């Protein structure tokens, strides 16, 4: 009985939604402002749930916010799509785009040769790089050359984890959420953290009161790209939209809002 009731409820909801869509057909489209949600294809966007300042949950409002969120919203608008966000850990985003579970992935994701085998990327939209950081007052780690035999925290499935594996003999501790890596350093359970420079800087200034400090030079140049399943027709559409908003100043406005300055040479 209960099931039948739920089915009936479900179908009446579906019919309700269909009727609502039918009712709002824009054959009298004379009003430029009323185009909001009419008949646009909805694409699912997989994003990270804790990667400041690119995508994270604003504590006060509970909303998903960040540079990537504003960027993909502007791009979808430009390309003529509606988007729906799904947040998950970084590792799952790479896999979920590779398998075609999501239409788009945006998560400060570095374009790498390895990922390009599974995923298509747009042109780069942000230049990052990896940086080592320690708890303020640590004096035995001054650069990446000092981490062999030390415990270095990072995030599962990230380019930093790959770097530590390939280039060092550190004891790597990888966590699903990067915040756990920082917390372990603050609590003295890990000696250092390796991660993307903009994230480390933002976390250090805004969330850790400067108690996490960077050491040494930026390690690798990394470009972020927006990810699509291999062969997706949407890649070119969003890539073109990206070129358009880089040319018309929208990109620079969004960038300035999150990074406090306009980007160099777009």
Interface with ligand GLN (CB under 6 A): 48, 51, 90, 107-110, 155, 158-159, 178, 196
Q: Whose Cβ is closer to ligand GLN: residue 107's or residue 200's?
A: 107
Q: Whose Cβ is closer to ligand GLN: residue 83's or residue 128's?
A: 128
Distance CA 130, CA 222 (A): 8
Listed in sequence order, the residues at least 6 apart from 54 whose beta carbon sits closer than 8 Å to its beta carbon are: 48, 66, 67, 68, 69, 107, 108, 198, 199
E strands, the chain, are 42-47, 50-51, 55-57, 64-65, 82-87, 104-106, 119-121, 126-135, 151-155, 171-175, 192-196, 212-215, 221-224, 227-229
Q: Whose Cβ is closer to ligand GLN: residue 159's or residue 168's?
A: 159
Alpha-carbon dihedral sign for residues 248, 45, 17, 40: positive
Q: Whose Cβ is closer to ligand GLN: residue 129's or residue 216's?
A: 129
Instruction: Report in angstroms how near the CB of residue 160 gets to ligand GLN at its nearest.
Output: 7
Q: Whose Cβ is closer to ligand GLN: residue 53's or residue 78's?
A: 53
CB 69 within 8 A of CB 128: no
Instruction: Report in angstroms how near the CB of residue 231 gets to ligand GLN at its nearest.
Output: 21
Instruction: Report in angstroms how near the CB of residue 23 gets to ligand GLN at its nearest.
Output: 41
Q: Whose Cβ is closer to ligand GLN: residue 53's or residue 108's?
A: 108
Phi, psi (deg, nearest 5) at residue 94: -60, -50
Instruction: Report in angstroms how near the CB of residue 116 gets to ligand GLN at its nearest.
Output: 12
Instruction: Report in angstroms how near the CB of residue 80 gets to ligand GLN at its nearest.
Output: 27
Instruction: Report in angstroms how near the CB of residue 6 gets to ligand GLN at its nearest.
Output: 38
* Closest C-alpha to 159, from 97, 96, 94: 94
Tokens of 258: 């999150």
Q: Whose Cβ is closer to ligand GLN: residue 41's or residue 207's?
A: 207
Output 203-207 pairs: Cβ under 8 A, ≥24 positions apart. 203/52, 203/178, 203/179, 204/133, 206/52, 207/52, 207/182
Instruction: Report in angstroms how near the CB of residue 4 gets to ligand GLN at its nearest.
Output: 45
């Amino acid at each position: 009985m209960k099931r039948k009731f739920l089915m009936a409820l479900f179908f009446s909801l579906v019919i309700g939604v269909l009727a609502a869509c039918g009712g709002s057909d824009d054959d009298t489209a004379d009003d430029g402002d009323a185009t909001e949600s009419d008949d646009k294809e909805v694409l699912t966007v997989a994003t990270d749930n804790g990667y400041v300042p690119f995508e994270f949950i604003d504590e006060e409002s509970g909303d998903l916010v960040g540079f990537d969120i504003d960027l993909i919203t502007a791009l979808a608008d430009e390309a003529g799509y509606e988007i729906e966000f799904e947040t998950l850990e970084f590792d799952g985003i790479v896999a979920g785009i590779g398998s075609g579970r999501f239409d788009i992935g945006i998560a400060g994701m570095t374009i790498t040769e390895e990922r390009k085998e599974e995923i298509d990327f747009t042109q780069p939209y942000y230049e990052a790089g990896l940086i080592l950081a320690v708890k303020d007052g640590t004096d035995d780690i001054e650069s990446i050359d000092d981490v062999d035999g030390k415990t270095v925290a990072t995030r599962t499935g990230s380019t930093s984890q790959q770097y530590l594996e390939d280039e060092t003999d550190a004891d790597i501790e990888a966590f699903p959420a990067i915040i756990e890596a920082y917390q372990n350093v603050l609590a003295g359970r890990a000696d250092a953290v390796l991660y993307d420079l903009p994230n480390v800087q933002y976390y250090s200034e805004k969330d850790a009161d400067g108690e996490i400090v960077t050491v040494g030079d930026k390690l690798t140049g990394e470009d972020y790209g927006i990810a699509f399943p291999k062969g997706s027709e949407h890649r070119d559409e969003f890539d073109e939209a990206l070129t358009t908003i880089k040319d018309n100043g929208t990109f620079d406005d969004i960038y300035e809002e999150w990074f406090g300055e306009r980007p160099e040479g777009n």
